[in-house]
Amino acid sequence: MKRFLKVILILAAVFGVAGLGLTAGGAAMGATMGDVSVLDQGITQVLRVLDHEDSWEVEDSEEDMDEQEDDFQAAAERAVTEKGVLADSADSSAYTKVYEASAVSDLFCDLRYEELVLRTWNEDKVQVKVSGKDHNRIQISNDNGSLRIASNQKVRNRSIEIFCPENLSFQKIKLQMGAGTIELDGDFKAEQMEVNVGAGTIENSSSLDIKEADFTVGVGTADISELQVENLKGSCGMGDMELTLTGKAAEYNYELKCGLGNLEVDDSLETSITSGNKQITNEGATKNIKLDCGMGNVQVEFEED
């Protein structure tokens, strides 16, 4: 903990000096205090990651273990009333749980440092497979159609694979990752999708058909392609966000905000800003994009332009 406190004190001094310089520079470029305030999200994510890095060196505290036991006891009680469970097994290498596809409408993942992979397959069931260190300590439950996978352990080297039917359409997908990775391998469809990667990464290899999407990046990276969306929100603190949408830029209206980073839409000077706010309304456009960039980099492109 002494080492961690030293790191925090050093960072506090660095951020203090940098803050004075950036505030002066931002004011000279016309930035407001409202613009500068969006950096708080990114800095908060940095401190959280450093806190977690330090805690990797020690075992979970007795208090943490008690909380985990309470969580697992609650999960066990919920499992008694679960519906659609086809299999629930664990061995020395993996923990696997399988549900009927018709029993799953939402997917919620709240993870820390794991490697999460969502795949599609030709089976009419949803399978969750956990492997790696303490694989049997992941909480998996189905609460009235909401499949929830959660971890509150300070553990690395653990992977989670979720296999979904190719024709499954979710009502909502919510993915929250601390400092791990998220990979979407296959075509996915949902009414709503919410993704939050603090210091982690997310990327996809196939299409996403989403009505309402919300992506948040702290100091991590989001690289999303083949995104078909009607309403898009994106917030980037100090990381990088690259989004490639189907369709044309003229099909959307825009609400853009940038602090001290860089925000670019469709490689156009008219929609590129390095500070301030900008609203763009296109005639006949029925879709909307709202982007907020703090100190990072946000880039949006369109396949048909």
The per-residue pLDDT for 78 is: 54
The per-residue pLDDT for 209 is: 99
CA distance 18 to 12: 10
The per-residue pLDDT for 55 is: 41
The per-residue pLDDT for 172 is: 99
Residue type, 24: A
**DSSP secondary structure string, 227-255?**
EEEEEEEEEESSSEEEEEESS-GGGEEEE
| pTM attached to this predicted model | 0.80
Two structure tokens written together for 221:
């990276």
The per-residue pLDDT for 7 is: 42
**Closest to 289 measured CA to CA, from 303, 297, 275, 278:** 278
Distance of CA 298 to the CA centre of its chain: 15
CA distance 199 to 45: 7
The per-residue pLDDT for 93 is: 93
Query: From the first residue on, what is the mean pLDDT of each consecutive set of 10 residues in the chain (305 residues)?
Result: 45 51 51 52 53 45 56 53 91 96 98 97 98 93 96 88 98 98 99 98 98 98 98 98 96 95 81 82 96 96 89
End-to-end Cα, the chain, rounded Å: 53
